[in-house]
Amino acid sequence: MKEELIKYLVENITENRNALFDKVIEDRTKYITVVLEDIFQPHNASAVLRSCDCFGIQDVHIIENRNKYNVNPDVALGSSKWLSMHRFNEQENNTREALRALKDQGYRIVATSPHTNDVELYDFDVTKGKAAIVFGTELTGISDIVKEEADEFVRIPMYGFTESFNISVSAALVLQHLAHQIRTSGVDWNLTLEEKQDLKLEWLRSTVKGAPLIEREFYKRRM
């Protein structure tokens, strides 16, 4: 039924658009996912989304404790439309809930922070399993809860006086490297067939004008 609905909705987009959807979906991954904890500067938040889209990272997990996650459309350039954004904002402190939910999904929690047990980015082993990469706030970095829950710590090697990169730069550097690594390491990083179908259906529903009406017509014809 899902495959038939996709074909029905595809009739309302151009062949080039459909081909682009299929091409991008083949490069999407959930093997690496991104976790953003309490990001408060809209331009940084938006730049991270743009990097996720560019490097094929489908899922972004947003933890809102003190700060609401806002997107600057001029920076994001519509990237949020193509990503699956999961928000954690119903508890007093949502960090532990988010990280444990990811662990339940089989992710190892990897915090981006200089730490006594950290490894340099280029030594990080992507073959050990799915990884949720956690980025902290612009001012204070990751929280103590992230440090408690993290399975591993990774840092970007730096050679200057400055102690850290801007978060949007950090995310871009980390994701570019990991996106390349998973594609050359032999790990199974692709979406499953069902995930590909779900994602294409989501994109069609968000881009086809009048999609709800068209979908209702589809089910009416099936009755």
CA angle 82, 107, 187 (to 5 degrees): 80
Whether residue 137 is annotated as binding a ligand: the answer is no
What span, in angstroms and rounded, lies between the C-alpha atoms of 114 and 173?
15
Whether residue 156 is annotated as binding a ligand: the answer is yes
Burial class (CB in 10 A: 0-12, 13-18, 19+), 123: exposed
Question: Could you give the 3-state DSSP secondary structure of residue 110?
Answer: strand
Provide the token pair at 22.
């299929």
Burial class (CB in 10 A: 0-12, 13-18, 19+), 98: buried
Q: Return binding residues for S-adenosyl-L-methionine.
A: 112, 156
Q: Return binding residues.
A: 112, 156
